[in-house]
Chains A and B, each alone.
Chain A
């Protein structure tokens, strides 16, 4: 099963809509709650990153018997130094975004904590591609 969603850059009033839609689907198909919880944290952080930094983005969720694969792709500024971006507390978010309680430099670390596999590639000036995998059978970890 594959589901696709669009994310509008800069529109915080819609941030979380895609994550919420994915959560509903996963519940309907009886994915274990512990897996849903982790996936939702990782996905929401990815979605907010697109809203906060990029012009637009796309989420693709592929549900396989063994794993859930999420791809978040955006058109945006890209990340010059991914290692630095992964550090807890590091953020390039605007003052406005920070005042809303985002941009504390916790997003990518949250994604890493909750994903079984996280792969980020980015081209400065073009965009960022994030892949998240969570195994449905945690003994495969």
Chain B
């Protein structure tokens, strides 16, 4: 499944990084602790978080996650958005809370 398909199926907003929407998704990771993501996320994961600052994109890029989903309608900081476009890592958004969007993503990916 690609990031683009997940955007469609979960009705997510695309804040930035459109050029990376074709990226394949192989899993998901949920955490708001950056070192936890550094230590435990895998490349190809969709990372779900409430953190909106630029370091999220630094970690996303170093770990080569497929995309980042910001929850609860949170908007990215300007420099976060800029970095998402520069790295071509889609920065997505939803009004859903973490529990709900993670559950829906899990259902999609386990098929």
Contact = CB atoms under 8 A, between A and B. Distances in A.
Chain B interface size band reads 10 to 19
Centre residue among B35, B38, B79 by max chain A CB count within 10 A: B35
B39 A13 contact: no
Interface in A98-123: 100-102, 104, 106-107, 109-110, 113
Chain A interface size band reads 20 to 34
Tell me the dominant secondary structure on chain B's binding face.
helix
A9 B87 CA distance: 24
Contacts of A110: 35, 38-39
Contacts of A41: 38-39, 62
Given A16-B62, A20-B61, A107 B53 contact: no
Interface of A: 12-13, 15-17, 19-20, 23, 37, 40-41, 44-45, 48, 100-102, 104, 106-107, 109-110, 113
Nearest 4 pairs between A and B by C-beta? A16-B58, A106-B35, A110-B39, A101-B34
21 contacts: A12-B54, A15-B58, A16-B59, A16-B61, A17-B58, A19-B62, A37-B43, A41-B39, A44-B58, A101-B32, A101-B33, A101-B49, A102-B33, A102-B34, A102-B35, A104-B33, A104-B35, A106-B36, A109-B39, A110-B35, A113-B39
